[in-house]
Structures are given as structure tokens and as C-alpha cells.
Amino acid sequence: MRLPRIVLASFAGALLIGFGLVATPAAVAAPPTRTELTVDDLSCVFNTQEGDSVFFFASGSDGSAGSGMFVESNGEVILDGQGGSAVFGPIFSATVTLVDPATGQPVGDATVEATLTPVGEPQVEQVRDRNGNSWTTGTVTTIDYAVHVTSVTVPGYTVLPEADDCDASQIAFDVRTTNPSAQILHIADFGSDICPLEGLANGEVRLSGNEVRAPVFEVVIDDGVNPLKARGELTLHGWSASATVPLLSLVTEEPVADLTIDVTFNRIGQRTRESVREGDVTVRLSLTSYVASITVTTSDGRSGTAECPAIAIMEKIINRPGGDG
């Protein structure tokens, strides 16, 4: 697999974006510096009995860790918490004070507790890179963790944790270099095939977005004369969602009917992982496959169904310390 050329200039200026660490500028003819940095990362999306979604994230480096959380209802953040505590290890725990954004008043503390179990063997990458007149040598070691959530409390909610709600990893840098720098970026992507709708003439459907639990849907009915389109967002409750939006004429931009879409996701197989290197950048991919069972109906009597393959991809992009692109 070949990746597009990645411009590494955007990586300058931060030792670890997303973890709040400040870069150490490279000194001309500086003596070799040893960088020993261990980065922990955990993120979760939980469903609730009440139907809203809880998003939780935590990160840490060498004993300093923090966490945050927000609660979404119909795409709107109704509770938000930043600057929470976190403790990484075989037993993970975190506490975040949640605030009502409308009033700015705290509503109580949320907590997350889990066990972290290493999955497979650590991935050790040997680093030997030249950056101008300096060299970086050492190792970058990645450990992926299976996360078993033992407790989640959110004020006003009953949280329903599931087995695949969380991802966690640890990356340890041990390098000697005259120009230390490191960055980790996380990119989530989700998309389905463009699938024909059985029973709905000229109808097709597609799902896309950054998060499998909150996809965007597009339905097109194109007879070559008066193409129609409906678009909206879904919020999954469990692994199902439903939404009703206007079906618009692309010629007149006027609604011709209401369109209702019902979607249920079924996971296919096991999550797979891949690692790709392009120049000084390593990209670790986590891929999860689904089949989306989709039913579309319109208020003017049309209907169609599809069994639509889809895939969720989580990218972790690592710029090696001292890499020059």
C-alpha cells in the first residue's frame, strides 16, 4: 500500500500534538540528547439508556495524565468537561467534572474505570534516521491494549458500555538525537460503498463521516430527468438509527416528499491492524468492517432496501523523532 506524499512541515512546532507537550527547538551542533518518552492514549464512545452519546478521552506522558468528556444529544453538546484526572496502568481510572455549557455551572463528576490488557506482542521499530547533519537512532515501541470497562458514571445518565467502545495504546520513544521531536496524530474515517436500493428504481445510498456511531447518509434517486436527493445525520442508539429528512429536487431545490431511513450495523469479522511506512512517517491503521442493513421509505409511497458494506478506519500517524520528511 502506498500513501500520498505527506508534508511534514505541519508537524513542526510540537513534540506531541494532542498531549499538550511543548517542543524543544533543535540547537545547531547540539550534543546528542536522549529522549525517553512514554505516551498513553485512551478514547471511548458510550451509548446511554437515555439515548444520548458519551465521548471520553484521556492521554498521558511519563506520569502526567489528563482526561476530558462531553455528552451529545441530537448533535448538540449538552455536558462538557475538560482538565480531568487520569491514571494509566493495568487498572485505568479517571474523573472529570462536567459543566452545563448553557449555564456554565458544574453538574457533577463523571468517572471511568477499566482494565487494560496488552494485545499481542509489542511492535518495536528500529529508528536510524538522518536529519541534515544529525542522526536519530533508537526504538519506538507500540503496545495496543484491549479495554474492559468496569465502571462508567455520568451525572443524570445510565451508561451502557460495550466491548468495542474503547481503544487504547502506549507508545514509548527511546532515541538519541541532536534534534528530538515527535508527534502523534489520530484520524478517524468511516464510509460505505455506494449501494443500489433494491425496490427503489434508480435509488442509491451511501454512508460516510468520521465516526461509525454518527454517520452522514446520502440517498439519490436519479431518473435522468428530475434527480432527487436526501441528506442527513444519524445518531446510533445501540447499533441502530433512524432519521426523516426532506427529499429534494435537485432541479427546483424544492421538497417533493419526506424520506425516512432506518439503518442497523452488523460487525463483520475481527478488527484488523496494518502498519505502513512512507519516508519518515509510520501510519498504523485499525480497520473494522460492517454491513449496514438499510431501509428507505418516502411519504409518496416509494421504498427500497440495501445490504451495504462499510469500513471504519482509525489512523495513528507517527512522525519519527528527528525525521525530515
Residue 284 lies in a domain: yes
Number of structural domains the chain divides into: 2
Range of the domain at 40: 35-180
228-259 residues labelled b (16+ CB within 10 A) or e (exposed): bbbeeebbbbebebeeebbbbeeeeeeebbeb
All three cell numbers of 61, joined, read 506522558
Rounded to an integer, the average pLDDT of 146-166 is: 93
pLDDT digits (tens, 9 = 90+) for 157-180: 999 999 889 999 998 888 876 644
How far is Cα 318 from Cα 184, in angstroms, rounded to an integer?
A: 5
The whole-number pLDDT of residue 52 equals 92
- End of a domain among 180, 200, 215? 180
Of the candidates 87, 104, 108, 105, the residue with the CA atom closest to the CA atom of residue 96: 108
Looking at the domain assignment, is residue 41 inside a domain? yes
Cell output for 55 = 465521548
CB 12 within 8 Å of CB 182: no
Contact 10, 317 (CB under 8 A): no
pLDDT tens digits along 270-323: 778 777 777 667 777 788 899 999 999 999 999 999 999 999 888 877 765 544
pLDDT digit string, tens, across residues 48-68: 999 999 999 999 887 789 999
Are both 152 and 234 inside the same structural domain?
Answer: no
Whether 230 and 167 share a structural domain:
no
149/212 Cα distance (integer angstroms): 20
The answer to whether residues 174 and 99 belong to one domain is yes
Q: Judge if 148 and 194 occupy the same domain.
A: no
In a domain, 3, yes or no: no
222 contacts 197 by C-beta, under 8 angstroms: no
Give pLDDT, residue 130.
61
Give 37's contacts (C-beta < 8 A, 6+ positions apart): 15, 16, 61, 62, 172, 173, 182
* 66, 169: one domain: yes
Contact 155, 174 (CB under 8 A): no
Q: Is there a single domain that holds both residue 202 and residue 221?
A: yes
Residue 6 DSSP class: P
Same domain, 85 and 168: yes
Domain-terminating residue out of 151, 180, 209: 180
- 213 and 107 part of one domain: no
The residue written with cell numbers 458519551 in the block is: 54
- Residues composing the chain: 325
Whether this prediction's pTM lies above 0.85 is answered by: no
* Shared-domain flag, residues 307 and 218: yes
Of the three residues 163, 180, 197, the one that is the final residue of a domain is 180
- Whether 132 is in a domain gets the answer yes
State whether 124 and 91 are in the same domain.
Answer: yes
Rounded distance, CA 152 to CA 132, Å? 49
pLDDT tens for 207-228 read 999 878 889 999 999 988 999 9
Query: pLDDT band for position 22 (50/70/90)?
Result: very low
Tell me, yes or no, whether 17 lies in a domain.
no
Instruction: Give residues with Cβ within 8 angstroms of 113, minimum separation 6.
Output: 91, 92, 93, 94, 149, 150, 151, 152
Q: What angle do CA 186, 190, 194 make, to 5 degrees?
A: 155
Burial class (CB in 10 A: 0-12, 13-18, 19+), 182: buried
In a domain, 299, yes or no: yes
pLDDT digits (tens, 9 = 90+) for 85-121: 999 999 999 999 999 998 989 999 999 999 999 988 8
Q: Do the domain assignments include residue 248? A: yes
Quickly list DSSP for 45-101: EEEETTS-EEEEEEEEETTEEEEEEEEEETTEEEEEEEEEEEE-SSEEEEEEEEEET
C-alpha span between 278 and 51 (Å, rounded): 42
Both 126 and 202 in one domain: the answer is no
